[in-house]
Amino acid sequence: MSNGLIILLAAILPAILWVVWIWWKDKYQHEPVSWILRGVAYGVLSAMLAGLVNGVISATGLVPEEPQGLLPAIWKAFVGAAIPEESIKLLMLWLLLRKNPYFDERFDGIVYACCIGMGFAGMENIIYLFSNLDRWGTVAITRAIFSVPGHFMFAVGMGYFYSMLYFGDMSWHDRSRVIWVPVTLHGIYDGLLFMASLGTLQTILLIPVFYVFCFLMYRGGMRRIKEHLERDKNDPNQVAYHSSENQQVTVATDVTYTFRVAEQLFTISGKESWLMAASNYAPFRVPDEAYADADKCFAIAMQSVERFDEVVGFEHFFTDNSDPDMPRIEVWQSHDQWLFRVSQVADAPVCCEIIMTKDFKQATLSVLTSASLFTMRFAIDNAAMLLFAFATSHRHILEMHASVVVHEGKARLFLGHSGTGKSTHARQWLAQYHTAHLLNDDNPILLVDEQGQLWVYGSPWSGKTPCYRNEHVPVAAIIQLAQAPQNIITDLTASQAYAYILSSCSGLKVLHEAMDGIHDTISSIVLHVPVKKLQCLPDKQSAQLCYETTR
């Protein structure tokens, strides 16, 4: 083995071991290896970008090359290292997680942040070792003991607070912790080393302080890891899922569970371990015996297959492939059935197949025998969401793409295309009004009752935010969101409101009978409920304006 290869292995091996350890620690639901590697690659890129930024900072003379004194050392530690490096890592974490379908547990934020941190540390190690070939062994050992674990703990702090913010465990007022905690840890770490290098006395005094700081940082990081694992374990939206992790090999019982969403009953049948994977349905389950003879909106029967063969006996109808980061859905039809083939993203292979009767009352959901529990949950969600939207279109029900906040007993629905800021605006409400709560963050259900009252219901489908509330409240207003440099709210005309609600609801709109039902429901909504357009900034004032004009 060449000397260069040995040095390279010495540089990256510590980072690899930490990545493997944090992946293994994610015991409830391991993240896909492809996304772990993507996170490491983002970390390598962040190290390159940080090198460019630090080069610019050095070239401008903003930080001294060799600090002489305590304040210059602290200045260099924060301005020349901690602030730019952690800011770039946070940017990479946001880019990695913003459309990551596997980011569904709090601990995942720590896992992905650590992957980025270890990609950064590995790349930094390579640079340091090959820049010190005469003493690369000493540098490798020192960095393996201190620098790599240091970057790991900075990442734990970032990922911990990123998840806290994302899953609503932390006030929006405290969102800055996601950056200032890792920056502070990194700045103190580098600052102590820079100050210790100023002279013999400083070394004698500060190196013990540095060791104590590293120990406390390590202990705090491990405590945060344990806290998020416990939060995920005790989250009612995850308990059933985590239980299935321990039973997926041994449980093979065929079961049928009954669920009620927006007053509509439906059943899902299959292996018990499969249904336990879909823990988001737990709040909506009802006693099977009590509703055995009740009318069901639809029924899904699950089965596993070794592979998906070429489609035979169906004619291609259309393919929904509009967003490369969203599931791809192929739609086929025969004289008496529909066939849906779903992929997790546009260029991914088919992961599930749904065959439905033309009246959408019966469906067979096929998944691969090798499917993971995550894929199983994805398949169940897509089958149930499609069937619910199709089977209820004539029942004065709409399955919406919206975020819903409840305040003072009434709900506001925020509509907008992906990336508009629905979830962000909802969080502004939660920050401004402490009695407000999130009902659903992606797919709430609207129902117009016999008196013309519009209600919004929680559902098992809430996107990446685990908010599965089985409750319903009257709707105060529906608000179309648009990003703008100022906060302005206006009323939409009936035709504008109709068009926007239609574009935000799910359904097989190419079918005349389905479209007739959707038309009747939307027409009733725009006649009885205010529909407004809010052009806004991502601030609390926009939430206050919206509240004041929709009370």
What pLDDT is recorded for position 507?
87
The pLDDT value given to residue 188 = 95
Q: Hey, is 102 helix, strand or coil?
A: coil
Q: What pairs with residue 437 in β-bridges? A: 406
Q: What is the DSSP code (8-state) at residue 117?
A: H
Torsion of CA 121, 123, 124, 130, to 10 degrees: 140
d(CA 268, CA 284): 12
Tokens of 358: 């033309």
Residue 150, token pair as written in the block: 């240091």
Mean pLDDT of the chain: 90
Distances (CA, A) of 505 to 82, 395, 417, 489, 493: 45, 14, 12, 22, 18
- Examine the pLDDT at 238 and tell me if it is beyond 60: no
Identity of residue 144: A
Distance in angstroms (rounded) separating the CA atoms of residues 383 and 269: 12
Q: What is the mean pLDDT of residues 9-19?
A: 95
320: exposed, middle or buried (C-beta count within 10 Å: 0-12, 13-18, 19+)? middle
- Residue type at 175 in one-letter notation: R
Residue 70 pLDDT > 90: no
CB atoms near residue 160 (< 10 Å): 27
The CA-based dihedral angle spanning residues 204, 206, 212, 218, taken in that order and rounded to the nearest 10 degrees: -130
Determine the distance from the C-alpha atom of residue 190 to the mean position of all C-alpha atoms in its chain, rounded to a whole number: 32
Q: Alpha-carbon distance 186 to 221, whole Å?
A: 13
Q: Kind of pairing, strands 445-448 and 454-457?
A: antiparallel
Q: Which amino acid, one-letter code, is at 436?
A: A
User: Are the beta carbons of 441 and 426 closer than 8 angstroms?
Assistant: yes
Least confident of 129-133, 202-206, 254-258, 452-456: 202-206
Average pLDDT over residues 132-139: 92
CATH numeric code, 397-549? 3.40.50
Can you tell me the distance from the alpha carbon of 129 to that of 11, in angstroms, rounded to the nearest whole number? 7
Phi-psi region of 48 (alpha: psi -120 to 50; beta: other; left: phi over 0): alpha
List the chain domain ranges: 3-235, 251-391, 397-549
Rounded to whole angstroms, how far apart are CA atoms 100 and 105? 12
Query: pLDDT by residue (tens digit) across 175-214?
Result: 789 999 999 999 999 999 998 888 887 788 889 999 999 9
pLDDT at 545 over 70: yes
* CA 304 to chain centroid: 27
Question: For 30, phi and psi rounded to 5 degrees?
Answer: -60, 140
Mean pLDDT of 10-34: 90
Ordered DSSP codes for 426-468: HHHHHHH-TT-EEEESS--EEEE-TTS-EEEE--S--TTS---
Q: Residue 352 pairs with which residues in a beta bridge?
A: 342, 367
What per-residue confidence (pLDDT) applies to 14? 96
Measured CA distances, 129 to 17, 81, 126, 143, 321 (Å): 18, 19, 5, 10, 47
Are 49 and 89 in contact by the 8 Å Cβ rule? The answer is no
Task: Give the closest residue to 371 by CA, choosing from 311, 305, 301, 310.
Answer: 305
The most confident of the ranges 69-78, 130-139, 403-412, 500-509 is 403-412
Which pLDDT band, with edges at 50, 70 and 90, does 510 fall under?
A: confident
Alpha helices in 309-421 (DSSP H): 373-391
Instruction: Give the per-residue pLDDT at 252.
Output: 44
Question: Do residues 373 and 246 lie in contact, with contact meaning Cβ atoms separated by under 8 Å?
Answer: no
Alpha-carbon gap, residue 228 to 167, rounded angstroms: 11
Crossing angle (nearest 10°) for helices 422-432 and 540-549? 80
pLDDT digits (tens, 9 = 90+) for 241-290: 444 444 333 334 589 999 999 999 999 999 988 888 788 999 999 998 88
385 and 375 in contact (C-beta within 8 Å)?
Answer: no
State the Cα–Cα distance between residues 81 and 93, nearest whole angstrom.
18
Higher-confidence residue of 123 and 1: namely 123
pLDDT at 100: 83
pTM of the model: 0.68
Confidence of residue 96 (pLDDT cuts 50, 70, 90): very high
- C-alpha torsion sign, points 138, 140, 143, 144: negative
Q: Name the more confident of 61 and 251.
A: 61
Q: If we measure between CA atoms, which residue out of 403, 405, 436 comes closest to residue 420?
A: 403
Of 26-35, 155-164, 256-265, the poorest mean pLDDT is in: 26-35
Cβ neighbours, 10 Å, residue 28: 18
The stretch 154-163 carries a mean pLDDT of 95
